[in-house]
Amino acid sequence: MSKPRIAAFAGSTRSGSFNKQLVKLAAESARSAGADVTVVDLRDLALPLFDQDLEATGGLPDGAKRFKTLLRESDGFLIASPEYNSSITAALKNAIDWASRAESDDEPALAAFRGKAAALLAASPGALGGLRGLVHLRSILGNIGVIVLPDQVAISTAHEAFDEAGRLKDGRKAAQVADLARGLTGFLVKHAG
């Protein structure tokens, strides 16, 4: 198999996002394990709120088309999700909703998601590290045909977890992130074709 292709993104649009830092670390580990990783920032997509009237008059917005194309061309996803009020962010749900839309009658349903694999991470200032949000994300992805790996990593007290270079201070947590990314890469290699 050629290198597995992974799309990596955080469910945050904030420039100083802990989850953006976390997904970059995971992406580095996936690359070192042999994957071709593209990191995308949801903020750069400038997605409007999903609106079927908007879709009916103009089709998918440019950012949604770019995101959907990236997902379709990927074998798997690394997703770092903040937890907002015990769930995922509106930005992440909105991006998933736009990418789930078919652009033609002959496009297979959920073409950007079905049969892909995902590994989930979260970072949160709270004690649970975003775990409650990952429960919802796992459910959403599973329902649209994504194979979500059972292992996941949650970083609690995220505001204290990273050093000035964006690295995790706790070596054990850093190793868990690296293992998760390598695990996704290995899964994709094993299940290629």
Q: What is the residue-level pLDDT of the chain in tens, covering all 193 positions?
A: 589 999 999 999 999 999 999 999 999 999 999 999 999 999 999 999 999 999 999 999 999 999 999 999 999 999 999 999 999 999 999 999 999 999 999 999 999 999 999 999 999 999 999 999 999 999 999 999 999 999 999 999 999 999 999 999 999 999 999 999 999 999 999 998 5
- At 180 the pLDDT is 98
Q: Indicate the DSSP class of residue 4.
A: P
- At 192 the pLDDT is 83
Distance, in Å, from the CA atom of 90 to the CA atom of 57, rounded to the nearest integer, reads 23
- At 120 the pLDDT is 98
pTM, to two decimals: 0.96
How far are the Cα atoms of 46, 52, 66 from residue 138, in angstroms, in the given order? 24, 25, 23
Distance, in Å, from the CA atom of 153 to the CA atom of 57, rounded to the nearest integer, reads 41
Distance, in Å, from the CA atom of 128 to the CA atom of 114, rounded to the nearest integer, reads 30
- pLDDT tens digits for 128-155? 999 999 999 999 999 999 999 999 999 9
**In total, how many domains does the chain have?**
1
Nearest-10 crossing angle of helices 18-32, 171-190: 50
CA-nearest of 191, 126, 193 to 158 is: 126
Q: Tell me, what CATH number does 43's domain have?
A: 3.40.50.360
**Domain interval for residue 34:** 5-190
- At 2 the pLDDT is 81
Residues 6+ apart with CB under 8 A from 137: 11, 79, 81, 88, 92, 120
- At 163 the pLDDT is 96
Beta partners for residue 7, in sequence order: 38, 77
Distance, in Å, from the CA atom of 129 to the CA atom of 154, rounded to the nearest integer, reads 5
